[in-house]
Structure formats: C-alpha cells, structure tokens
Amino acid sequence: MSALSEIPREDFAFYINHLRALSVDCVQAANSGHPGMPLGMAPCAYMLFAHTLKFDASSPDWFDRDRFVLSNGHGCTLLYSLLHMCGFDQLSLSQLSKFRKLGSCTPGHPERGVTAGVEVTTGPLGQGLANAVGMAIAETHLASRLNIKGEDELIDHHTFVFCGDGCLMEGIGQEALSLAGHLGLDKLVVIYDDNQISIDGSTSLSFTEDSQSKYASMGFDVYAIENGDSDYSKIQEVLLRAKHARNKRPKFIALRTTIGFGSEVAGSAKVHGAPLGPEGVRLLKKNLNIKEEYLDKPFSVPQEAYAPYHLAAMKGKAENARWQEVLERYKTLYRNSQCHERKLFEYVFMNANTMSFIDAIDSSILPKEPIASRKASEIVLGKLIEMSPFLIGGSADLSGSNLTIVGEMKKCSFQKDSPQGRYIHYGVREHAMAGIANGIVAHGGLIPYCGTFLNFIGYCLGAVRLSALSHLGVVYVATHDSIGLGEDGPTHQPTEISAVLRAMPNLLLLRPADSRETLECWKIALQERSTPSVLCLSRHALPSLPSCIEDRVIIEGVSKGGYTLCTKGKLSMKPSIVLLSTGSEVHLCLQAADELIRNNYLESLSVVSMPCLEKFRLQSSDYQITVLPDGIPVLAVEAWTSQCWAEFAHAVIGIDKFGCSAPQTDCYKLFGVTVDNIVKKSVELLKKFQYERAPSKKLL
C-alpha cells in the first residue's frame, strides 16, 4: 500500500478507464445490460480491488479473503471486468465477450456457483446488503471462537458491499442495516453509489431522505465522498479509514458518483439499463482517453493497464501463503487441544465429517406423550446444538414460539459484546433474516437455522428463493404451520404458501407428523447442504405415531419423502383406498382409517405419510407404486391449498380459503378437516371407483 501515493493521477485514470471500457464492451456485445453503474463506480472499484481488498485470484475460495458483494448486481460487468483484470482464470476476455449468453460464466446478474469470485447471487435489490451482513456476522463469530489469544489471527477479514439507492429503498436492505448497526459489525463496509438516478429518473422523485444522518442514527460510522468520479485519493483514504476503524460500528460510505460517467448520457436515467450503441461506446472511449488503437477493438486491453491489478493479486497470493502457515500452526495447536472449539475448527478447516454424529441421534431423546412438532424440534435442537458447534440459530423475534433457542444460547446470544453467542435475535425482520442466513452459508464455516411462523415465510420469499437458486442450505424453522394455531386467525394461518414452496426448485418443504418424523426431517435439513429446507411444525400437540411402527420404518420412510405408515384391515388384501397426508393431519387419517374398518366400509386401506413431496418424486417408480398402488383411489388430506395434491390424489380434503380466528378444533371443523369428513369423502371415493380402476394421476 505504501507505493500508492507514488502512482501518478493520470495513471489512476488509465487503470480505471480501461475497467470502464471493458464493462461497456460486455454490455455492447450482449446488446443488453447496464452500463451506467460500472462507469460511475469504476474509480471506487479500482481503489477497492487494486489497493484495499484482500484476495487471491489463484485461490478464489481462500477462507480468510475479504468478501466483496455487489448488491446492485445489475452492474455485474464491473465485477466481471475486475475479476478479469485481477487475473481470475475463469474470467477470460472470451467469457466477457459472452456476457448474457447461454452457458457463459458471465450471466446477466452475478450468480454464486457460476463464476469464481462471485460470492453471492444478486440482482433482486437489497439482498446483497443482507448477505454482506450475514458474512460479517459469520466472520465476527468465527473469529471470536477460533482465533487463539497470543497467536496470529486465523480469521480476520472484512466484508465490502456496493449498493445503490434501490438497495437502500428496499425493506430487506433497511432491515439488514438496522441489525448491522445494532450488532456493531465494524468490519462491514457499505459503499453507497449515490448517483442520484434511479430507473424512473432523478432520485428526487422518490428518495430524498438524509442518508448520512439516517445511518448515523442506526449506529454506523458515516463517511462522505463528494467527488467519487475523480477524487481518487479521498476514495482511497476513506476506504482505508473505514477498513481500519475497529470501534464496534459498521461503516457507511456515501460516494457521490456520476452514473454513466464519460458517456454522452452521463448523469441520466437513460444510461442505467440500456447499451450505449456502437457510436456511444466509441465516443465514451474517446472521452476516457482510450488510445486510438483500442477504440474500435472491443475487449482489448493494453498490457500496462493490468499492472496494479496484478500487483494486488500477487500481494494477495503472498498473504494467502503466509496465512496458510498460520493455518498449519493452528492445526497443530487444535490437534493438541481438547478445547471445546476443536470440533468447530475441524469442521471449518479440515473437512471433518462432523455431520456423521447425527445418525446416532435416535428416538430415545423424544418423549412418548403427545407434543407439538415445534416442541419436538426444540428437543432435537437441544441435542444438535450440543453436538454440532457449527450450528448458529436465530428467530425473527419469535424465539419462544418457534422454540429455536435452546441450551447455552439462552444465556448468551450473538451481540456486540458477545460475538461468540450462537443465537441471533434478528428482531422482527424476516426478510433480512433469510438474506443474512444466505450470507452466513455463503461465507462458509457455519450452518444457520432461523425461525418464523410459516405464514411469514411470505415476508421473506425473495430471500428464500435465493437460498434455493444459489444452493445455500439454510434451514428455515417454520412453526404455527396451519389453522391449528387457532385464535390468531387468518392473518397468521398459512393456507396457500405451501404451493410456492413446493413449486420452488431446489427447496425441500418438510412437514413431519410427530416427534420421530421431526427428528428425521431435521437430519435431512442438516445433511442437504446445497438445498434449503423449510421445516413446517405444528403449534399444537400431536400424538406420537403408533409405537408399533418401528424407528427404521420412519427413518427410511422420511428419507424417501413418503411411505406407507400402516395398512389397516385385512393385511393380505390390496388396500381399497389410500389416505395420503402430512403433519398434523396424518393423525386424523389414522383415526378415520380405524372408523372405516370398524364400520365395514371397506376391508383394507393404507395410510401414507408424505412429509416431503420433493423427495418422494425422486424415488423409483417401483417404490412409488408400493406407496400409491396403481388403480387404487387416493384421498389426500392436508390443511392447506389442495393445489399440490392434484398430482397424486383423486380427491383432496384441503383448504382453499383463508382461515378463521377461533379455537383450533372449531377451525378444523369449519373447514371440514375432520375424521368424519375423511370417512365421508373416502366412502364417496370408494363408490366412484367401485367398478373401475382409479386412473393414474401421473403426468406424462
């Protein structure tokens, strides 16, 4: 860093302008994309990557790298260009030229897992802010638990995030920053691209709050840079000050820039999201003093322009090498220690299969008497927390309702002065909670679970979608999972949210029917590290599944997503009907099955529990047919929308209305989710198919 002051001003401009040119070439080649932000933010991006950020281009996943998040993800050509300039192998000029093309590693918005150096998937605004807060939480927490006093710090990195006015207008951004201020995450640096232009035009149309005093009131150190276009030394000074101030306050840098800097439409909304056109690009490059020989050659960069980026990359590589030595020292220290955190260290740094223990947790920890599945979850969690030091919990201010806070967590939560706490009081901030949990997984080293009522998954759907899209195995603990919550009424009773969770790719909705199923669902959620899970848990007590059902049946059955719980009546006969259900309604089906047999409505039937449709769909059709035999009518029973069951069932008892404020039993009766109605519907269904096979429901 010492050589920085020696770089001549015009050289800064040279390095920055080639970054700009490259970003704009991408947009022009795709004839689609967002040139405005990269042109405005290039100076700060340069200062950050070339002179501030700790990274190793040859090892993009280096654990102690600084994290960089582009929350205003539409400006991704800036990031791709930076990664190219810094020498990230994957980002060749050829890949840059394939921006927004099928199969490239340069998609239209940054996608985690597609591009090395892209930490998180952004584009939906505000998400990146929450992700960055999650990363800063993870860093702070792991540092406090794993760094050893008197030794070099094993974990010591920063999280930088770029955002625009859009991210700051979004609720998720506000929730996340409010929590960041509360938690005093001083290694989080938020850089606000204050270009005073949003898509609709000037921000004076919709966004005129005094950001600087606002973020100060929220616990941030606030810095202002009046001229983000060319006051390079100020940018650098502020970045370094913000990075090094360890004062339990996160940093907010208001950086005044010109959107589309250097182009003919600079400073206007026109340059936000439309290519400049070939002539516009040429003019821009001229304005940026790009040499004549490069003017008409897109994706051409003079070798000299790489110099500071390569220098930064070399510096980072050396830092990583030094850090590897520190890591080796820690390995020795931890190997010879029996300290509590050894297991965490091994999980984070030694790829230890620390998850294997969960198979050993068995039903002996569970009571036999009826308990709510949220209560069963609490018991399971008590055990998990004890045995898995990488778990970090939380709830959006419903800890006592979600039953997500267990054991030692009750004594010490993650706070400014207790970063070692393993429980996050997210406050009533569901959307940020989910986005932060995404950031924690993306950071690495920890598995977050977080709680809210199932219906309020609707408040954080934007972030849940990104868990699924970016393969982040967040565990959502969603209690109060039906009208069974009773008196709180329709505003709190989920009926239709299951439809989108089940339709969402790469997400598991798990709805256990009793304690033993809850245990197995938790195991699945923890083992699926690239797929988020939503555990749907009852508020009210559920009986245990009959004790005659062996543990191994439940274990295998839940792992397959659905299984025959029991066959009633003449076991030798094919069932006349299948009652198919999930969660609390499974018990109604079991009772209805007894009624049907007792009243001689039929001679044999089976009851199927299907806690996870997504898993069941993955099974062989041989297995599926053993559960839902061809030609046998199926009645599905679930206190949610019937939409999800048309695929499997010939009739559904569901709820295609909003719920009702009333005691639980009144609610169930009102909507016909009762033993009597199951019996009645079963008889109707039997009658309908008495002379014919029930048709296959399978879609072609």
Binding-site residues for substrate sit at 34, 272, 374, 401, 480, 488, 492, 539
To 10 degrees, the CA torsion angle through 380, 382, 383, 387?
130
Q: How far is residue 477's CA from residue 438's CA, in Å, rounded to a whole number?
A: 14
**Least spacing, CB of residue 511 vs its own copies, in Å:** 16
Question: Residue 360 carries which DSSP code?
Answer: G
Shortest distance, CB of residue 51 to its own copies, whole angstroms?
Answer: 30
Residue 432 binds its own copies (CB under 8 A): yes
| Whole-number Å distance between alpha carbons of 131 and 138 | 10
Site for its own copies in 505-524 (CB under 8 A): 505-506
Q: Out of 38, 40, 87, 107, name the contact with its own copies by CB under 8 A.
A: 107
Please, which of residues 611-630 interact with its own copies by CB under 8 A? none
- Which window, 59-67, 169-177, 328-336, 339-347, contacts its own copies (CB under 8 A)? 169-177
**What is the identity of the amino acid at 641?**
T
Which residue, 344 or 627, is less far from its own copies as judged by CB?
Answer: 627
Q: Which residues are annotated as a binding site for Mg(2+)?
A: 165, 195, 197
Distance CA 441, CA 439 (A): 5
Confirm or reject binding of residue 483 to its own copies (CB under 8 A). Answer: no
Site for its own copies, residues 181 to 200, rule: CB under 8 A: 181-182, 198-200
Site membership for its own copies, residue 564 (CB under 8 A): no
**Residue 425 engages its own copies in binding (rule: CB under 8 A):** yes
For residue 174, state whether it binds its own copies (rule: CB under 8 A): yes
Among 207, 299, 306, 623, binds its own copies (CB under 8 A): 207
Q: Which stretch binds its own copies (CB under 8 A): 231-239, 360-368, 543-551, 636-644?
A: 636-644
> Is the Cβ of residue 316 or residue 654 nearer to its own copies in the bound state?
654
Among 169, 245, 326, 541, binds its own copies (CB under 8 A): 169
Contact status, residue 431 vs residue 376, Cβ threshold 8 Å: no
Residue whose C-alpha is closest to residue 574's, from 602, 553, 598, 593: 602
List residues bridging with 581 in a β-sheet: 609, 637
430 is catalytic: yes
Which residues, in sequence order, are CB contacts of 355 under 8 Å at separation 6+? 388, 526, 527
**CB of 52 or CB of 140, closer to its own copies:** 140
- The binder of its own copies chosen from 381, 468, 477, 610 (CB under 8 A): 468
Token representation of residue 633: 């009518």
- Please state the closest distance from residue 422 (CB atom) to its own copies, in A: 15
Token pair belonging to 69: 């998040």
The piece of 85-93, 177-185, 329-337, 540-548 that touches its own copies (CB under 8 A) is 177-185
Binding segment for its own copies (CB under 8 A), chosen from 115-123, 242-250, 319-327, 532-540, is 115-123
> Which residues have a Cβ under 8 Å from the Cβ of 31 and sit 6 or more positions away?
275
C-alpha to C-alpha distance for 534 and 510, rounded to whole angstroms: 6
Establish if 77 lies at the interface with its own copies (CB under 8 A): no
Rounded to the nearest 10 degrees, what angle do helices 127-146 and 171-183 cross at? Answer: 20
111 makes contact with its own copies (CB under 8 A): yes
Within 10 angstroms of residue 1's Cβ, the number of other Cβ atoms is 10
**Touching its own copies, residues 484-503 (CB under 8 A):** 486-492, 495-500, 502-503
Q: Residues, the chain, total?
A: 700
Question: Per the structure block, which two tokens stand in for 324?
Answer: 């590897």
691 part of the interface to its own copies, by CB under 8 A: no
Cβ atoms < 10 Å from Cβ of 391: 20
Which of the residues 22 through 51 are near its own copies (CB under 8 A)? 30, 32-33
Give the nearest distance from C-beta 555 to its own copies in angstroms: 28
> From the CA atom positions of the chain, what is the Rg in Å?
28
Does residue 631 bind its own copies (CB under 8 A)? no
Which tokens sit at 313? 């990359």
Give min distance, CB of 629 to its own copies, in A.
16
- 277 in contact with its own copies (CB under 8 A): no
CB of 610 to its own copies, least distance (A): 15
The interface mask with its own copies, positions 86-105, x = CB under 8 A, is --------------xxxx--
Binding site listing: 34, 74, 123-125, 165-166, 195, 197, 272, 374, 401, 456, 480, 488, 492, 539
Q: How far apart are CA 677 and CA 679, in angstroms?
A: 5
Q: Which of 237, 397, 551, 594 binds its own copies (CB under 8 A)?
A: 397
- Tell which one of 261, 345, 390, 459 touches its own copies (CB under 8 A): 459
By rule CB under 8 A, what count of residues binds its own copies?
Answer: 123
Nearest to 421 by CA among 403, 401, 438, 407: 407
Distance CA 368, CA 545 (A): 9
Among 119, 175, 341, 517, binds its own copies (CB under 8 A): 175
Can you tell me the distance from the alpha carbon of 541 to that of 403, in angstroms, rounded to the nearest whole number?
A: 14
Query: Which lies closer to its own copies via its Cβ, residue 363 or residue 401?
Result: 401
Identify the helix (H) or strand (E) that includes residue 42: helix 36-51
- Considering the complex, state which of residue 236 and residue 641 has its C-beta at the smaller distance from its own copies: 641
Q: Give the whole-angstrom CA distance, residue 630 versus residue 141.
A: 53
Quick count: other Cβ atoms within 10 Å of Cβ 137?
28
Question: One of 119, 430, 517, 638 is an active-site residue; which one?
Answer: 430
CA distance 74 to 99: 12
Q: Assess contact for 423 and 396: CB atoms under 8 A.
A: no
Q: Are strands 197-198 and 201-202 parallel, antiparallel or unpaired?
A: antiparallel
- Residue 537 CB, shortest distance to its own copies, in Å, is 17
- Smallest distance, its own copies to C-beta of residue 216, A: 8
- The candidate with the shortest Cα–Cα distance to 46, out of 21, 63, 28, is 21
Among 466, 536, 545, 628, binds its own copies (CB under 8 A): 466
Q: Could you tell me the two tokens for 45? A: 């991006």
Residue 429 touching its own copies (CB under 8 A): yes
Smaller CB separation from its own copies, 50 or 188? 188
The stretch near its own copies (CB under 8 A) out of 8-16, 524-532, 546-554, 644-652 is: 644-652
Q: What is the DSSP letter of 554?
A: H
Helix-helix angle 430-443:461-469, to 10 degrees: 20
Q: Which C-beta is closer to its own copies: that of 60 or that of 489? A: 489
User: Residue 636's beta-bridge partner residues?
Assistant: 580, 652
Q: Which 649-678 residues touch its own copies, going by CB under 8 A?
A: 649-652, 656-658, 660-663, 666-667, 670
Catalytic annotation, residues: 430
